[in-house]
Structure 1
Amino acid sequence: MSAEKLRLDKYLWAIRIFKTRTQAAAACDTGKVKMNGAAVKAARAVGIGDVYEIKTEAKRWKIEVTGLLANRVQYTEAIKYYVDVTPEDDQQFNQRIAASFHTGKRPSKIGRPTKKERRDLDDFMQED
């Protein structure tokens, strides 16, 4: 595949916006990737200078393509192939989402009792 004809889903995967190419293609199909306000398909050819608006679960992006990258590389290398031109208000929105992100871990000493607490509770209930 030549560098001049690079699919959008492959490019978004290569620059590490999406973890898998399937996720990148699905985002294109569901209208979460836009160019000039219009949804674009996953097979669209990427060109240098194109500006895309991308919505992921964690963040809203607005990127400008500065180079074509066909294969996935390290993050430090991948960021050289686009410029993040996300407006200031969307960046604040992204920070609010990150601040409220739930990891799934329960806070310490809240919730289920420890084994010792459970034994003490059982002993207390048995005394009646």
Structure 2
Amino acid sequence: MERQRLDKWLWHARVVKARTSAAALVEAGHVRINGVREKAPGHSVKLGDVLTIALDRTVRVLKVAGFSERRGDATAARVLYDDLQNDKE
């Protein structure tokens, strides 16, 4: 798998609790891909894309490191991305 829908990836990576929440987050303009605001939940992400996600009162910066066919536990989700904020500290 080389690409995956943005909303599906956000859900599989456990950024949100439901895929509908992922779609709503994207449609509201709270997600940027490589610095460009994306409003289409079906937009595909590829390895190496950097996602900037505004969640509640925090901002997460995640680099896409992998894909999954289905949603797994937190340990499985953690290998899908590199957290660029925590890597800098």
> Relative to total residues, which structure has the larger strand share, 1 or 2?
2
Structure 2 portions without partners, runs of 5+: none
Residue correspondences, number? 87
TM superposition score normalised by structure 2:
0.87
Larger Rg: 1
Contact 1:18/1:24 (CA < 8 Å) preserved in 2?
A: yes
Distance 1:74 1:85, change over 3 A: same
Q: Which runs of 4+ in 1 moved over 2 A?
A: none
Matched residue, 2:7? 9
Larger RCO (CA within 8 A; separation ≥ 6):
2
Structure 1 position 73 matched with structure 2 position 83: no
CA RMSD between the two structures:
1.9
Confirm whether residue 20 of structure 1 aligns to residue 14 of structure 2. Answer: no
Higher helix share: 1
- Structure 1 residue aligned with 2:35, among 2, 14, 37? 37
Q: Percent identity?
A: 34
Q: Normalised by the size of structure 1, how large is the TM-score?
A: 0.62
